[in-house]
Chains A and B, each alone.
Chain A
Amino acid sequence: MTAVLRAPTGSAADPAAADPAAADPAAADPAAADPAAADPAAAIRPDAALAEATLAEIARVGLARLSVDAVARAAGVSRATLYRRCPGKPALVGAALDHEVARAVAAVAVAVADARALDDAVAAMFLTGARTLATSVALGGIVAADPGALAPYLDFAGGDALLARLTDGLAPLLAPWAADPRRAAEWVARIGIDLCRTPTPLIDPTDPGAVRRFVATFVTPGIAPRGSAAPKEEGP
């Protein structure tokens, strides 16, 4: 999962500006009509200063030794304020991960802006995710020191929350191609998280050719293209 959690430095472009769905009237489906979904980052933007202070602190001391007080000091807020916004360490770490998801979605929005087909867009999503993993000091440190520490954010309730956030971010980016963007987004988000998580890698996620073959073989056949009849499924 960690591969999709951080944008490369310097790519903090406005995702809405690079979002092909934003300028596409046909993207006005129920998902895109939701104002939060129209701007992928807006749907998932937590308190940025706190999140960045938390990530910096994780990078410095690791997740196990993360201190809520140290984060409050670094963010320049009182302990009481911090607890009001993020009650406890799991909430703080969850908010920091949400922040990284938002940054990843912003980077992916830039990466898919030039895509000319669904295969291109999905491959760009995976490649951008994998590239950004290497640049996340905080998450890279957790994964190197103690990958099990992320399990509460990846499985069961935590996993559903992460999947929902990533789905919210990716759905508008898939609207130009997919008959049911939310369904397609959850499918792509799930596979992206799984690819980064599995101990037996299915592909080299930094190899564009391998990623494209993987996407064309296993991923996009599961997405009904726009203009086709969307497979019958209950709404969100």
Chain B
Amino acid sequence: MSGPEARARVLRGALDCVTRQGFAGTTVTDVARAAGVSRASVYRWFPGGRDEIFAATVAAEVARFYGAMAAAVADAPDLATTVERALGFAHRELRANAALQALLATEPEPLLRFLDHEYAATLGWVTDHLRSVLAAEAAAGRVRPGVDLDQAAGFVATVGISVMATPGRCDLADPAAVATFVRQELLAGILVGPGA
């Protein structure tokens, strides 16, 4: 087994353990057993032990989530559709994510801390993706004059991520409600034309 492969196995094992037992109920021995490796190999990859394993597990899950989101929006024809699909994807994925739901119910505090560590990185990925979509909208003459594309990408990324975790009154299960939010609020100042 190659090094990266062993590391990935440890992370999968850790994800299984924390989904079933939570962070507090998971030991390095549990992770090693679930991954089918020795405790020594776990420590070789994660000398910091449990906290380092958990942080890396959450980081890997976050990366997987945004990778799948990028695939889900890859063929969206425009900015509004990109954001709508991303929000719908996030809603379905987060609701179906067993580890997330179990930990939110039992140990939200450590989970949200680990997620918070990933926030700057995820904001960067989302902003970069949106910047390229916005550039295409600008090239097609659909961005309002005076809108700074970098600032607009950062704005849509920041607010979009916040809606995923904290939807407020926006019912993300309802595509019509998502479209109303995206076209009449989120992008209203950025795109030309009524209803974006």
Contacts and interface: CB of A to CB of B under 8 A. Distances in A.
B51 to A, nearest CB: 13
B165 A222 contact: no
A152 B152 contact: no
Contacts of A156: 104, 108, 112, 165-166
A192 to B, nearest CB: 11
Contacts of A200: 120, 123-124, 127, 154
Given A156-B112, A202-B154, A222-B186, A186 B169 contact: yes
Interface in A71-87: none
A148 B51 CA distance: 15
B26 interface: no
A164 B168 contact: yes
Contacts of B168: 160, 163-164, 167, 186, 190
Interface residues of A, number: 46
Nearest to B195: A231
Contacts of B180: 231-233
A199 B127 CA distance: 13
Contact of B116 (A147, A160, A163): A147
Nearest to A182: B169
A234 interface: yes
B185 interface: yes
Contacts of B115: 151, 155
B177 A233 contact: yes
A152 B158 contact: no
B184 interface: yes
Contact of A148 (B117, B127, B169, B184): B117
Contacts of A159: 162, 165-166
Interface string A184-224: 00110011011101111011000000000010111111111
Interface string B148-170: 00011011001100110111110
B167 A199 contact: no
Nearest to A202: B154
Given A190-B163, A194-B162, A200-B120, A183 B169 contact: yes
Contacts of A117: none
B100 to A, nearest CB: 9
Given A191-B159, A231-B180, A151 B112 contact: yes
B113 interface: yes
Nearest to B162: A194
A125 B104 CA distance: 32
B158 A198 contact: yes
A183 B181 CA distance: 10
Given A154-B112, A158-B112, A190-B168, 6 more contacts: A151-B115, A155-B112, A160-B166, A183-B169, A187-B185, A221-B189
